[in-house]
A and B are shown apart, each in its own frame.
Chain A
Amino acid sequence: MDFELSSEQQMLRDNVARLMKDRYNFEARKSYQASPAGFSEALWREYADLGLLGAPFSEEDGGYGGGAVETMIVMEEFGKALALEPYLETVVLCGALVKHAASAEKRAELIRRIAAGDLRLSFAHAERQAGFDLNDVGLAARKDGAAFVLDGEKGLIVNGDSAGALIVSARVSGGRRDRDGIGLFLVDADAPGVTRRGYPTQDGRRAAEIAFANVRVEPESVLGAPEGGLPIIERAVDETIAALSAEAVGAMSEALAMTVEYLKTRKQFGVTIGSFQALQHRASDMVVALEQARSMMYLATMSATEENAVERGKAISAAKVQIGRSAKFIGQQAVQMHGGIAMTYEYKVGHLFKRLTLIDAAYGDADLHARKLGDRGSLFA
């Protein structure tokens, strides 16, 4: 067992941490959030120059040879800063879809463009009726010769309003909730028939509802076998949850650090409030919750590349349960112990709390994953 980072990984962490420190204080974040894309396009370029956008891809695909650990490092630092750039959507989620679905040629092309900062992708998958069921896909993909024509609506596509292209899941055959018959299609965001309605999200990012009306997809833009997309989607979502757990750990550690700092400086009744045992013990419970979450972040990271879908799914669900519960506890306590200041929009802690809340809600909350695990037998089998 070895929890140490290699010297290259340590350097990556230092680089990202320094960049966040220099460019992502909370005031800067407010200006990025207010820009049309809802994040900093200039920083996206810097991420590309620093090698962050190609970090988790293999060298033969045009990446820099890292993997899940590199993703974890970047996401944890992004989590502390509440970074708004669509790293999770483009590099992690769509990157995984491309990695596992696209032909070697297409993969190399797309990953090269992602790594260079020239292509931002979002995954148009969720539909209004689907909840968290990844298999619930109704948007129709009609065969037209060797091409496909897409018709239907997708929602909650994070950064979908600013993405250059979308990966769209669609029903090629079978019923709406069948596991088989789902395809993955690469669609230019400005393609004829694509209508996007962008909007801000509760956690300070942006998302879009997107309608597809007779959108034509040529054969070279069909990613993978046109009816076997679901296992790839599940795998990509598992990798995304692993990355999300690192973002959550970053945000939790920042919330705890801010809370402890506040306890040490805020005075009431003539003393710092950190001298009160009621608050000390609550802060200690936050430490326990954070360490448990961090442990599961490691488990999720190491399991993200597991080929066996059942084993991978168990570890990822377990991590999501722990992350969700720790995030809720730490977020709520951070607000409570800061008192009124945490209720203001201008102060960072409330935004950490909101992001943590929405991380639990993403890809199935803690209860949903606990139920999934419950149906899968012992974690210690």
Chain B
Amino acid sequence: MDLRLTEDELAFRKEARAFVRDNLPASIREKTVAGRRLAKEDYVRWTRILADKGWAAPHWPVEWGGTGWGPVKQSIFLDEVQRGNAPEAIAFGVNMVGPVIYTFGSRAQKERFLPRILDLRDWWCQGFSEPGAGSDLASLRTTARRDGDSWVISGQKTWTTMAQYADWIFLLARTNPQGKKQEGISFFLVDMKSPGVTVRPIQTIDGGHEVNEVFFDDVRAPLDALVGEENKGWDYAKFLLTNERNGIARVGISKARLDRVRELAAIPVYGAGPKIDDPFFRARLASVEVELKALEMTQMRVIASRRSDGKPDPASSVLKIKGSEIQQATTELLMEVVGPYALPYEDPEALTNEPPVGPEWAGPAAPNYFNYRKVTIYGGSNEIQRGIIAKAILGL
């Protein structure tokens, strides 16, 4: 047993840290540190910097642009990118549909889509959830039927993150209404510019526009929009969700936010002096750090024992639950640091030269806190994860 990183891993961490520090544009870094929203261009710019270095999709097969790094190096890299306040990868392409395409897609699909995911020429979004199919995803009702040389897709998706930027959507649709509901679902790749696709924004409680409804009104897609076999989409979706849960703990993101908590808590803005001088606050901060440290170790244990059979590891449910709870706890701490000037509302979509009402750094605390209630809901709600643990780990 030896929990230290090897010389090689330590050197790599240094290299990754230096790369982020030296190549992340300051304007992007400042926004991420402050907790402000990034523009589409910010994501594209950073992804292309990574792609130029060959680091845009570390976990992919080398043949398609991956790095060949083992799981520990991948995890170190992710941690450095996140703690270095770089934008998160747009997961829908590189972490979700990419692996589905290179694992189950045709040669033509791989050649067409994978290179454009790497440098974000194509922005992907995810068409899974529906108004009537959230946690019970398999009950989805969007349909796809074959008509001559095309598929005709009808239905509605929802909670589609950043669909307003998307060039493509991958979606699950019912191709067989008979039999078990999981066995009549297929996996499609659809151009968002197709006639009949309508994106309608959903404003979230923080006032922002992050998610959307996407309507499919007899949308025609070519036959090769189907991935793999017809009616096997549920298997591909489960494979995708497994990949989604890699890195779901978001340890680096929480570390970066705790860095921010410490930074702001040291500013003497309000009557009693810096928040960090309050021993009760410091103990609460330390408690969150302890949970995060434990989570980092738990993540390493999961990585070290990763199964090679590609089946979902129920331990990733532990990472999802704890990781999301910690993320929420960090946003709570920031709220507390900001104190009374959490009050003024700034319209995140407004383009304005008006100075903020309170201190410049205070504005994002409340909307981020509100927004982060999502993390225990999405990606399989924490209740769904508890069900997975009860069944798969405890045999209940």
Interface residues of A (CB under 8 A from B): 1-6, 9, 69, 260, 263-264, 274-275, 277, 280-281, 283-285, 287-288, 291-296, 298-299, 301-302, 318, 321-322, 325, 367, 370-371, 373-375, 378-380
Contact of B289 among A283, A302, A379 (CB under 8 A): A379
Contact of A1 among B2, B282, B295 (CB under 8 A): B2
Q: Number of B interface residues, CB 8 Å?
A: 48
Which of B292, B304, B396 has the largest number of chain A CB atoms within 10 A? B396
Which of B259, B279, B298 has the largest number of chain A CB atoms within 10 A? B298
Contact of B297 among A4, A280, A299 (CB under 8 A): A299
Complex contact A373–B289 (CB within 8 A): yes
Complex contact B301–A3 (CB within 8 A): yes
**Chain A residues near B389 (CB-CB < 8 A):** 283-284, 287-288
From 231 to 273 in chain B, residues with beta carbon under 8 angstroms from any chain A beta carbon are: 255, 258-259, 262
Write 13 A-B pairs (CB below 8 A) sorted by A numbering.
A260-B395, A275-B396, A284-B386, A292-B295, A301-B1, A318-B289, A318-B294, A321-B286, A370-B284, A371-B279, A371-B282, A373-B283, A379-B292
Q: With A281-B390, A284-B386, A299-B3 given, is the CB distance from A260 to B396 under 8 Å?
A: yes
Complex contact A296–B293 (CB within 8 A): yes
A298 to B305, CA, bound (A): 15
Interchain residue pairs A-B with the least CB separation, the first 3: A374-B282, A295-B297, A280-B390
A367 to B321, CA, bound (A): 23
Q: With A280-B386, A283-B396, A367-B283 given, is the CB distance from A378 to B289 under 8 Å?
A: yes
In the assembled complex, the CB of B70 is this many whole angstroms from the nearest CB of chain A, namely: 11
Give the nearest-CB partner of A282 in chain B: B386
Q: With A281-B387, A292-B291 given, is the CB distance from A5 to B1 under 8 Å?
A: yes
Complex contact B396–A280 (CB within 8 A): yes
Interface residues of B (CB under 8 A from A): 1-5, 72, 255, 258-259, 262, 279, 281-287, 289-298, 300-301, 303-305, 315, 317-318, 321-322, 383, 385-387, 389-390, 393-396
**Chain A residues near B72 (CB-CB < 8 A):** 1
A69 to B295, CA, bound (A): 21
**Chain A residues near B284 (CB-CB < 8 A):** 370
Complex contact B396–A321 (CB within 8 A): no
Complex contact A287–B318 (CB within 8 A): yes
Complex contact A292–B258 (CB within 8 A): no
| Sample of 11 more A-B contacts, CB < 8 Å, known A280-B394, A291-B301 | A3-B300, A3-B305, A9-B1, A264-B396, A275-B396, A280-B390, A292-B295, A293-B294, A322-B290, A375-B279, A379-B289
Complex contact B396–A302 (CB within 8 A): no
Complex contact B394–A260 (CB within 8 A): yes
Interface of A is mostly: helix
A314 to B287, CA, bound (A): 12
A158 to B305, CA, bound (A): 39
In the assembled complex, the CB of A26 is this many whole angstroms from the nearest CB of chain B, namely: 22
**Chain B residues near A370 (CB-CB < 8 A):** 283-284, 286-287, 290
Q: With A4-B1, A374-B285 given, is the CB distance from A296 to B386 under 8 Å?
A: no
Give the nearest-CB partner of A366 in chain B: B287
A322 to B293, CA, bound (A): 10
Give the nearest-CB partner of B388 in chain A: A284
**Chain A residues near B1 (CB-CB < 8 A):** 2-6, 9, 69, 298, 301-302
Complex contact B279–A1 (CB within 8 A): no
Q: With A264-B395, A299-B3, A302-B3 given, is the CB distance from A379 to B293 under 8 Å?
A: yes
Contact of B394 among A1, A2, A287 (CB under 8 A): A287
In the assembled complex, the CB of A216 is this many whole angstroms from the nearest CB of chain B, namely: 44
Give the nearest-CB partner of B285 in chain A: A374
Q: With A3-B301, A283-B394, A296-B294 given, is the CB distance from A379 to B386 under 8 Å?
A: no
A2 to B284, CA, bound (A): 31
Complex contact B396–A373 (CB within 8 A): no
Complex contact B396–A288 (CB within 8 A): no
**Chain A residues near B293 (CB-CB < 8 A):** 296, 299, 318, 379-380
**Chain B residues near A274 (CB-CB < 8 A):** 396
Complex contact B294–A295 (CB within 8 A): yes
